[in-house]
Amino acid sequence: MHPPIIIGGGVAGLTAAVKLAQRGLRPLVLEANPEWVGGRLRQTAPTEFSHNGRTWQFSQEHAVHGIWDGYVNFKALLAELGIQPNYVPAQDETWILGDGRRVGRAHIGRTIRHSLIPAPLHYMQLMFKPSFVRLLNVHDWASLPRVAGGLFAAMSIDPLAEQNPLHGLNLADMTSGWSPHLRALFAGLARNALAAEPSQIPAAGWIAFLRFYTLLRRAAWGFDYLPAGGGTAVCEPLAAKIRDLGGQIELGAEVQMILQGAEGGWQVQYTQNGRSHIAPAGQLVLAIDAPSAQNLLLASPDTAEQAAMLTFPQGIPTVIVRLWFTATASGVSEAGMFSGDFCFDNYFWLDQLQDEYRAWREATGGGVLEVHIYGTPHLLEQPDSMLIKQVVQDVTRAFPDLRGSWVQAIVQRNPATHTLFSVGGRGVHLGIRTPWPHLYACGDWVYHENPALYLERAVTTGLAAANALLGEANLAPHPILPHPAPERFAGWLVGRWTAVRLRKLARKKG
Ligand SMILES: Cc1cc2nc3c(=O)[nH]c(=O)nc-3n(C[C@H](O)[C@H](O)[C@H](O)COP(=O)(O)OP(=O)(O)OC[C@H]3O[C@@H](n4cnc5c(N)ncnc54)[C@H](O)[C@@H]3O)c2cc1C
């Protein structure tokens, strides 16, 4: 029997590989990136520059990641393997609202997660916060009942459990009629969450995000940072474990086509260092991003016909800009979200999160800022120099203490592989078990009834794909931990609102 092949060495593929290797199956991971495993959690090329006669080198990553309270399988996987990053707990997040010269700020993260009011009413605690209240005007107050109605509607639908894509409905539709500030707040939150413009964000993806990350539990909005880049802290140690357990990882191995073998297995055609290879596999795990999965399945004659009937989430590009300063900003938390007329969507003070960047602050008294730009095509198309100019201008508008202290910037353009999370209809959204024998799928876009998104979804589906494959070989499955249940009141409301909605639907159909 040929060993299983995992196509893609992101978090989902590495999870599946380590779980198979733990059962003695010696998987082969084929990863297209020539240098690093980890996919969207990988390292990227380090940056080096001189400042005041000293040469500085910083390792880089795809983007800073938050490890949220509900990431039970992600954390359990690392703990079980003895990979124990010293997580850095998030303190607070500042919402910064830009409107020309007027810039408003409110610290909202801690208030939401430590609210005294039970979910889903916990956001009401913000009304006792003068900085938040000052950002609202009379139109905002008038539109609060509509906002509450929208949130309650989100409680009555569980798009993942129901496999309900809410066809044709996007976030812009859900927030139409809301006041401009509240729309801006939610647009900012949605861009941070799903990395796209409200009109691009499918309502089902938005509701799934709200339910998992904030609506049903106060603590769900709590999270940690990794103490170093995700590649260093998570993916490289995970890859080392796979190798220790007898698995193999080939970098720079880009799979071009998969073919069903005569004896029920698969043949995987890939290129590496400009040469073509064919590897036989007993079973395959497809662990690549959604656009690459769609391309591969359509390019492979044995899968093309059925793949053409599936829907795949859109892949979106992101841009990350890192800026070094000789000053720091006062009165803001270590991270936060922008909305209004800023050209970026969120920020992270790396010198408060990662040791390597702390050294810069200790030596220069300055900070290092990472900002993310999501879903604004005209901005993403600008050359680096223009983008940096605009980002620096907006950064000094948001943080006036930084004026005249900018030293260095790098722009990192991430390919359009990031999942714009959506839920496909029954039978058209690829799940763990695919329409093809001995071929399983995992990744942050793959259908599974669990409510998690992103890294936790990558790990959960990686575990589920490994278990499905182990089942074929009559080997014991690995446990998949349940995700935290809603708070009592939220749980009761979810049941009630769902019942009301279903009764309404039944009446309509009747
Ligand atoms: C800017 C940004 C910020 C983010 N922040 C967070 C966050 O704070 N918290 C969070 O949970 N998540 C965050 N995410 C999302 C998170 O990174 C992803 O959900 C997760 O890494 C997805 O893992 P994956 O294994 O499913 O896919 P990927 O990481 O995309 O892995 C797929 C792998 O397949 C490889 N591949 C593709 N095609 C082929 C082929 N033909 N042959 C071989 N290999 C191939 C790719 O090179 C890649 O390594 C963020 C993402 C971005 C872009």
The closest alpha carbon to 174, from 205, 209, 152, 150, belongs to 150
Task: Say how far apart CA 267 and CA 212 lie, in whole Å.
Answer: 38
Task: Say how far apart CA 255 and CA 494 lie, in whole Å.
Answer: 44
Between the CA of 453 and the centroid of ligand 1 the distance, in Å, is 12
What pLDDT, on the 0 to 100 scale, is given for residue 270?
Answer: 98
Between the CA of 483 and the centroid of ligand 1 the distance, in Å, is 21
Evaluate: CB of 296 within 6 angstroms of ligand 1: yes
Using left for φ > 0, alpha for ψ between -120 and 50, and beta otherwise, residue 340 falls in left
Between the CA of 218 and the centroid of ligand 1 the distance, in Å, is 27
What pLDDT, on the 0 to 100 scale, is given for residue 503?
Answer: 62
| Terminal-to-terminal C-alpha distance of the chain | 55
Between the CA of 39 and the centroid of ligand 1 the distance, in Å, is 4
What pLDDT, on the 0 to 100 scale, is given for residue 317?
Answer: 93
Evaluate: CB of 424 within 6 angstroms of ligand 1: no
Phi, psi of 288 (to 5 degrees): -110, 165
Residues 6+ apart with CB under 8 A from 369: 322, 323, 325, 347, 348, 349, 350, 395
Name the residue with the closest Cα to ligand 1, atom 1: 63
Evaluate: CB of 16 within 6 angstroms of ligand 1: no
Using CA atoms, how far residue 480 sits from 73, 76, 452, 465, 474, in Å, is 7, 10, 12, 11, 18
Residue 456: burial class (beta carbons within 10 Å; 0-12, 13-18, 19+): buried
Residue 50: burial class (beta carbons within 10 Å; 0-12, 13-18, 19+): exposed
Q: What share of the chain is helix, strand, coil (3-state, %, to 5)?
A: 40, 25, 35
Task: Say how far apart CA 464 and CA 226 lie, in whole Å.
Answer: 25
Evaluate: CB of 41 within 6 angstroms of ligand 1: yes
Evaluate: CB of 466 within 6 angstroms of ligand 1: no
Q: Token digits for 210?
A: 């709200």
Using CA atoms, how far residue 95 sits from 26, 99, 416, 434, in Å, is 47, 13, 27, 42
Rounded to two decimals, the pTM is: 0.96
Task: Say how far apart CA 242 and CA 185 lie, in whole Å.
Answer: 43
Name the residue with the closest Cα to ligand 1, atom 32: 288
Indicate if the alpha-carbon torsion angle 418, 421, 427, 433 is positive or negative: positive
- Ordered domains of the chain (ranges, CATH): 5-40+229-313+420-472 (3.50.50.60), 93-221+486-509 (no CATH)
Name the residue with the closest Cα to ligand 1, atom 29: 39
Residues 6+ apart with CB under 8 A from 205: 159, 194, 313, 420, 421, 422, 423
Task: Say how far apart CA 194 and CA 209 lie, in whole Å.
Answer: 8
164: DSSP letter: -
Between the CA of 328 and the centroid of ligand 1 the distance, in Å, is 31
Evaluate: CB of 255 within 6 angstroms of ligand 1: yes
Task: Say how far apart CA 33 and CA 414 lie, in whole Å.
Answer: 13
Name the residue with the closest Cα to ligand 1, atom 11: 455
Strand (E) positions, 159-251?
223-225, 248-251
Evaluate: CB of 32 within 6 angstroms of ligand 1: yes
Per-residue pLDDT of the chain (510 residues; tens, 9 = 90+): 799 999 999 999 999 999 999 999 999 999 999 999 999 999 999 999 999 999 999 999 999 999 999 999 999 999 999 999 999 999 999 999 998 888 999 999 999 999 999 999 999 999 999 999 988 888 888 888 888 888 877 788 889 988 888 888 888 888 888 888 888 888 888 888 888 888 888 889 999 999 999 999 999 999 999 999 999 999 999 999 999 999 999 999 999 999 998 778 999 999 999 999 999 999 999 999 999 999 999 999 999 999 999 999 999 999 999 999 999 999 889 999 998 889 999 999 999 999 999 999 999 999 999 999 987 778 888 999 999 999 999 999 999 999 999 999 999 999 999 999 988 888 899 999 999 999 999 999 999 999 999 999 999 999 999 999 999 999 999 999 999 999 999 998 888 776 676 566 666 655
Residues 6+ apart with CB under 8 A from 232: 43, 59, 61
Task: Say how far apart CA 283 and CA 277 lie, in whole Å.
Answer: 17
What pLDDT, on the 0 to 100 scale, is given for residue 184?
Answer: 80
Task: Say how far apart CA 39 and CA 235 lie, in whole Å.
Answer: 9
Between the CA of 62 and the centroid of ligand 1 the distance, in Å, is 9
CB environment 257-293: b (16+ within 10 A), e (fewer): bbebbeeebbbbebeeeeeeeebebbbbbbbbbbbbb
Evaluate: CB of 70 within 6 angstroms of ligand 1: no
Evaluate: CB of 99 within 6 angstroms of ligand 1: no
Tokens 């049941």, residue located: 495
At 161, the amino acid letter reads A
Task: Say how far apart CA 33 and CA 288 lie, in whole Å.
Answer: 12
The four Cα atoms 202, 193, 11, 44 give a dihedral, to 10 degrees, of: 120
Task: Say how far apart CA 116 and CA 419 lie, in whole Å.
Answer: 34
Q: Which mutation among 235, 286, 288, 337 tests ligand 1's pocket best, with the greatest number of atoms within 8 A of CB? A: 288
Name the residue with the closest Cα to ligand 1, atom 20: 455
Between the CA of 366 and the centroid of ligand 1 the distance, in Å, is 31
Evaluate: CB of 444 within 6 angstroms of ligand 1: yes
What pLDDT, on the 0 to 100 scale, is given for residue 310?
Answer: 95
Is the distance from CB of 90 to CB of 71 less than 8 angstroms? no
